[in-house]
Amino acid sequence: MTWKTSQSAVMHLTKSAVLAGLQCDKRLFLLLNRPELAKTRHSPLAQSGIEVGKLARTTVSDGVLVDRFGADAQPYDQTQALVNDPQVNAIFEAGFRYQDTDVFVDILERDGDSWNLIEVKSSSSIKDTYIDDVSVQYLVVAGTGVAISRVELMILNRNLIYRTNQGYDGLFIREDVTDRVIVHSHLLADRIAQLRQNMTSTEPERHVDGHCNKPFPCEFKSYCEQQDGDYPVSALPNAAKAIQMLYANGIYDIRNIPAGMLSSETHIRVHRATLTGQAELDDEAARVLNRLDYPRYYLDFEAINLAIPRWDNSRPNQQHPFQWSCHIQYQDGTLAHEDFLDVSGFDPRRKFAESLIAVCGHSGPVIVYNQQFEKGIIKSLAIQSSDLSDALLALNQRIFDLLPVVKKYYYHPHMKGSWSIKKVLPCLLPDLHYSDLGAVQDGLMAQSAYLDITAGRSSTEQTEALSADLREYCKLDTYAMVAIVDRLCELSRHQATT
Smaller CB separation from ligand SF4, 112 or 217: 217
Smaller CB separation from ligand SF4, 224 or 254: 224
Q: Is 353 in the site for ligand SF4 (CB under 6 A)?
A: no
Q: Which stretch binds ligand SF4 (CB under 6 A): 3-11, 21-29, 189-197, 480-488?
A: 21-29
- Judged by CB under 6 A, the residue of 52, 103, 107, 224 near ligand SF4 is 224
The DSSP call for residue 213 is: T
Nearest CA among 394, 395, 335, 3 for reference residue 196: 3
Q: Is 252 in the site for ligand SF4 (CB under 6 A)?
A: no
- Cα–Cα distances (Å) from 6 to 3, 100, 186, in that order, read 10, 12, 18
* Secondary structure (3-state) at 113: coil
Smaller CB separation from ligand SF4, 15 or 180: 15
Radius of gyration of the chain (CA): 26
- Judged by CB under 6 A, the residue of 195, 212, 235, 474 near ligand SF4 is 212
Smaller CB separation from ligand SF4, 37 or 275: 37
- Judged by CB under 6 A, the residue of 15, 26, 416, 487 near ligand SF4 is 26
- Judged by CB under 6 A, the residue of 3, 220, 352, 479 near ligand SF4 is 220
Q: Is 208 in the site for ligand SF4 (CB under 6 A)?
A: yes
Nearest CA among 213, 43, 45, 44 for reference residue 122: 45
* Secondary structure (3-state) at 446: helix
* Secondary structure (3-state) at 398: coil
* Secondary structure (3-state) at 445: helix
Nearest CA among 78, 68, 150 for reference residue 117: 150
Q: Which residues of 152-165 are buried (b: 16+ CB within 10 A; e: fewer)?
A: bbbbbeeebebeee
Q: Which stretch binds ligand SF4 (CB under 6 A): 96-104, 177-185, 205-213, 246-254?
A: 205-213
Give how far the C-alpha of residue 319 lies from the chain's centroid of Cα atoms, to the nearest Å: 13
- Judged by CB under 6 A, the residue of 19, 24, 64, 328 near ligand SF4 is 24
Write the CB contacts of 125 (distance below 8 Å, at least 6 apart in sequence). Answer: 155, 158
Q: Is 235 in the site for ligand SF4 (CB under 6 A)?
A: no
Give how far the C-alpha of residue 311 lies from the chain's centroid of Cα atoms, to the nearest Å: 23
DSSP calls for 31-44 = HHH-GGG------H
Smaller CB separation from ligand SF4, 154 or 218: 218
Q: Is 17 in the site for ligand SF4 (CB under 6 A)?
A: no
Nearest CA among 141, 83, 77 for reference residue 109: 83
To ligand SF4, the closest distance from the beta carbon of 107 in angstroms equals 30
Q: Which stretch binds ligand SF4 (CB under 6 A): 26-34, 36-44, 54-62, 304-312?
A: 26-34
Beta-sheet pairing, 296-306 with 366-368? parallel
To ligand SF4, the closest distance from the beta carbon of 370 in angstroms equals 25
To ligand SF4, the closest distance from the beta carbon of 218 in angstroms equals 3
> How many residues contact ligand SF4, by CB under 6 A?
13
Nearest CA among 149, 61, 136 for reference residue 101: 136
DSSP calls for 119-144 = EE-SSSS--HHHHHHHHHHHHHHHHT
To ligand SF4, the closest distance from the beta carbon of 419 in angstroms equals 22
Smaller CB separation from ligand SF4, 23 or 101: 23
To ligand SF4, the closest distance from the beta carbon of 385 in angstroms equals 44
Rounded to whole angstroms, the Cα distance separating 476 from 483 reads 10
* Secondary structure (3-state) at 20: helix
Rounded to whole angstroms, the Cα distance separating 213 from 209 reads 8
Q: Which stretch binds ligand SF4 (CB under 6 A): 103-111, 178-186, 211-219, 453-461?
A: 211-219
- Judged by CB under 6 A, the residue of 151, 218, 445, 480 near ligand SF4 is 218
To ligand SF4, the closest distance from the beta carbon of 161 in angstroms equals 39
Rounded to whole angstroms, the Cα distance separating 195 from 13 reads 11
- Judged by CB under 6 A, the residue of 221, 272, 310, 375 near ligand SF4 is 221
Q: Is 206 in the site for ligand SF4 (CB under 6 A)?
A: yes
Tell me which amino acid residue 61 is.
S
Nearest CA among 243, 248, 246, 266 for reference residue 256: 246
Q: Which stretch binds ligand SF4 (CB under 6 A): 220-228, 247-255, 258-266, 425-433?
A: 220-228
To ligand SF4, the closest distance from the beta carbon of 26 in angstroms equals 4
Binding track, positions 29-48, relative to ligand SF4; x by CB under 6 A? -x------------------
To ligand SF4, the closest distance from the beta carbon of 209 in angstroms equals 7
Binding site for ligand SF4 (CB under 6 A): 23-24, 26-27, 30, 206, 208, 211-212, 218, 220-221, 224
